[in-house]
Amino acid sequence: MKKFAAVFPGQGSQSVGMFADFMDNEIVAKTYEEANAALGYDLKDITLNGPEAELNKTEVTQPAILTASVAAYRVLEAKGFKPEAVAGHSLGEYSALVAAGVISFADAVKLVRLRGKAMQEAVPAGVGAMAAVLGLEDQVIVDVCNEVSTEDDKVWAANFNTPGQVVISGNKGAVDRALEQFTAKGAKRVVPLAVSAPSHCPLMQKAADVLKAELSKIQINDASIPVYVNVLAKPLTKKEEIIDALVKQLTMPVRWVETVNQLKADGVEALIEVGPNKVLCGLNRRIDKTLGSANICNEETLAKALEVIA
């Protein structure tokens, strides 16, 4: 069997009806029952039937993606397959922590609901913004962000997703100024994102403080397998280091390119995206085409993923 890592998607992978053809699986159904009990509402119904506006509320989206991802991982685990390591993109890091035994599923579902709510409340609506920039070198993007930022109006590189695809985050005025500069410097595309909070930048410090306080209230364990964390792009297993990385994650960039490269350097041969949609599969192929790649979101894709790692 190939050495593989399970990687978990973040916010933006949700859609009404996701996992509809996986819900008959007993393990998946039980996972949604656990989520419903932890949250106190019917997450399965919202996931399957919407409305879309409700599913797209950050404090609903985050538990929905986590639950789908953990359900799919449990199915993989029941087949006897265990990854060498885990990683998650932004919100997906919480799914990775559940898979590694760091946080219980019930605690994680409640934690990401709170995380979503805290992110929403950290910056007033309309103050922050995010945008994707395609076709420029990372350093050019970092330099422009520094150049256009003022003392009270700043923008930062927030997600290093693939070579040539970086997301920026910050105050709306600074984001707009940066986009003008990126266009002038020859970016292939600049795409403002429809988000309600500017993630992975210092504007999220209030949310990070809320998260830190909440993390002190729940049981957190050392990881049973290495967790490659966003802020360091390297593996951690000690709970104290993982807690610190989780808090910093809200205010620091997601270093996904480095994470994938480090996983390969450490001997991983395939990356299996566990959860809805195939966003990470696309990113991972653009980072390194030599790595095996598959997604698990229903019985058919499960079978294909097992072929990849067999």
Supply the DSSP string of 217-278, one letter for each residue. TS-----SS-EEETTTTEEE--HHHHHHHHHHHTTS-EEHHHHHHHHHHTT--EEEEESSSS
Please give the share of the chain, as a percent, with pLDDT higher than 70. 100
pLDDT in tens, 205-252: 999 999 999 999 999 999 999 999 999 999 999 999 999 999 999 999
Q: What is the domain-level CATH number for residue 158?
A: 3.30.70.250
Query: Of the candidates 155, 176, 195, which is a domain's last residue?
Result: 195
Number of structural domains the chain divides into: 2
> Model confidence at 25, in pLDDT bands (50, 70, 90)?
very high
> Model confidence at 70, in pLDDT bands (50, 70, 90)?
very high
Specify whether 187 is located in the same domain as 171: yes
Specify whether 150 is located in the same domain as 255: no
- The boundaries of the domain holding residue 151 are 128-195
> Model confidence at 31, in pLDDT bands (50, 70, 90)?
very high
| CB-based burial label for 134 (10 Å; 0-12, 13-18, 19+) | middle
Question: Which residue, chain included where needed, has tokens 């990687």?
Answer: 7
Specify whether 8 is located in the same domain as 146: no
pLDDT score for 181: 98
Specify whether 105 is located in the same domain as 31: yes
| CB-based burial label for 24 (10 Å; 0-12, 13-18, 19+) | exposed
> Model confidence at 2, in pLDDT bands (50, 70, 90)?
very high
DSSP letter, residue 21: G
pLDDT score for 195: 84
* 139-165 mean pLDDT: 98
Instruction: Please tell me whether residue 213 adopts helix, strand or coil conformation.
Output: helix
pLDDT score for 125: 86
Tokens linked to 283: 């990113």
Query: Of the candidates 195, 222, 237, which is a domain's last residue?
Result: 195
> Model confidence at 69, in pLDDT bands (50, 70, 90)?
very high
Specify whether 98 is located in the same domain as 221: yes
Catalytic residues: 90, 200
pLDDT score for 261: 98
> Model confidence at 303, in pLDDT bands (50, 70, 90)?
very high
Please give the share of the chain, as a percent, with pLDDT higher than 90. 96
* 65-70 mean pLDDT: 98
Q: What is the domain-level CATH number for residue 246?
A: 3.40.366.10
Phi/psi of residue 271, each to 5°? -120, 120
pLDDT score for 196: 79
Specify whether 173 is located in the same domain as 55: no
Specify whether 213 is located in the same domain as 102: yes
Residue 309 has pLDDT above 90, yes or no: yes
Specify whether 112 is located in the same domain as 169: no
Specify whether 46 is located in the same domain as 170: no
Specify whether 187 is located in the same domain as 212: no
Cβ proximity of 112 and 62 under 8 Å: yes
Q: How far apart are CA 156 and CA 253, in angstroms?
A: 8
* 134-163 mean pLDDT: 98
Q: How far apart are CA 259 and CA 265, in angstroms?
A: 10
Specify whether 225 is located in the same domain as 191: no
Residue 266 has pLDDT above 90, yes or no: yes
Residue 65 has pLDDT above 90, yes or no: yes
> Model confidence at 152, in pLDDT bands (50, 70, 90)?
very high
pLDDT in tens, 169-208: 999 999 999 999 999 999 999 999 988 789 999 999 999 9
Specify whether 14 is located in the same domain as 147: no
Query: Of the candidates 154, 171, 195, which is a domain's last residue?
Result: 195
- Tell which residue, 173, 163, 164, 156, has the closest CA to residue 250: 156
Q: How far apart are CA 4 and CA 308, in angstroms?
A: 9
Alpha helices in 40-171 (DSSP H): 43-49, 52-55, 58-78, 92-99, 105-122, 138-148
Residue 8 has pLDDT above 90, yes or no: yes
Cβ proximity of 62 and 30 under 8 Å: no
